[in-house]
Structure 1
Amino acid sequence: MSKIELDPDFSSRFDASEESRPAAQLYLISPPTYDPGFPEILKAALDAGPVAAFQLRLKGASDMEIMRAGSVIKPILAAYDVALIVNDRPDMAKELEADGVHLGQEDGDVSEARALLGHAVQIGITCHDSRHLAMQAGEQGADYIAFGSFYDTATKETVHRPDPSILGWWSTISEIPCVAIGGITPENAAPLIDAGADFLAVSGAVWNHAENPAACIRAFADLLEDRAGR
């Protein structure tokens, strides 16, 4: 498998001290459906600013549709050094030779995914607002954990609303990166960055942007650069 390394990658980006954690990065999640024009939209978005990872999340799509979409966007992501993460499906991540898989709490556990995918593939897991689930995921060997939803979102139904302080708590006890997710926009992201998010997972704010997705990516890039300089 050809491994796309993050810059730096999920698994080796930290040493033990909180002060050494690199600046927050952008983690882009796909629109809920895929159409033939999306590759050009994606290229324009990636041209607009740095993105660390892209999650292919096509709920309700058939295996064939996921494979077709993944096969088209994989070389595009590789050209921009962006990691391809497949949502929910370790088996599809293996078939696509993706760089990672993102698991919900109902999508199997980290140890099962690791047995299938090996140690070169990044495994992330949603932990909602639960410190217990985050600790458990870390003990199982997750490469990153995700907290959310921090804000209202139309992307998916949510029942958990963590306080941003959970990001700071995690960054003080663990070297494993944490991802903030849920309703994040350039206008409301700063408190999450300041609280300790290593990645901002964004979807609707980008793809539903009134002007264009690239403009939203530029706004996130400006924000991340500004907060990194503080």
Structure 2
Amino acid sequence: MDNNGQNTHNVLSMTQRISKNGFTPLAQVEAYWEGLRGNRLMPNRSEIDPRGIEQALEYSFIVERIAPGIARLRIAGSHLSDLMGMEVRGMPLTSFIMPNSRRQVSDILEEVFETPATCTLELRSEQGASLPPLEARMLLMPLKSDLGDVSRILGALISVGDMGRSPRRFDVVRSSLRPILADASLPPVVTEKIPAPKPMVRTPNKALQPPKVPFRSETPRRHAPYLRLVKSDD
């Protein structure tokens, strides 16, 4: 895995480098995501408007993290269904990946969610009878859910070449993971935890208190008689 740890604003994105090879829709989806997030780490899922990626909609998808390393498709463009030869909503994203590369993709999904980071994967299809070679690219970019947790991904998957017989699955040839950094020019948001105030204990001011006068009864106190134990043999 190629992880250079650089800010995506300071380097040429993978999608820009491969846009001339027929993968232009990836660059459109990436530009839309970057425009939404602005100076934040990532946009919210609720901000995604299909009209913003209309030219790349058939290649786009949104997945939801349901367990570590497992993300299911909630929204998927028609190109993804064409690759699998069926409706793909509800399927794991790794359904498009060959078994020997699925663990790698699961690890990448976790890094995209947890770091957080964006990732571009270079993919190559299996080959065989009625399975001509296909090159593909997948783009993964994290989103926050309505609850504020990072559990969604806006992505895109596009293949170039004769699709042949479906389903088509891919091996990972190369991946580029790029950790996301917020705009360093903005002051960090510091959340302070203020402890609850302790209950006030009132201390009496002795200077304001009248002097204590011992109590004396007006009636002379009689000495209490002693109690005697009288032993009787009766």
**Shorter-chain TM-score above 0.5:** no
Query: Scaled by the length of structure 1, what TM-score is found?
Result: 0.28
Query: Scaled by the length of structure 2, what TM-score is found?
Result: 0.27
Q: Which has the larger strand fraction?
A: 2
The higher radius of gyration belongs to 2
Q: Which has the larger helix fraction?
A: 1
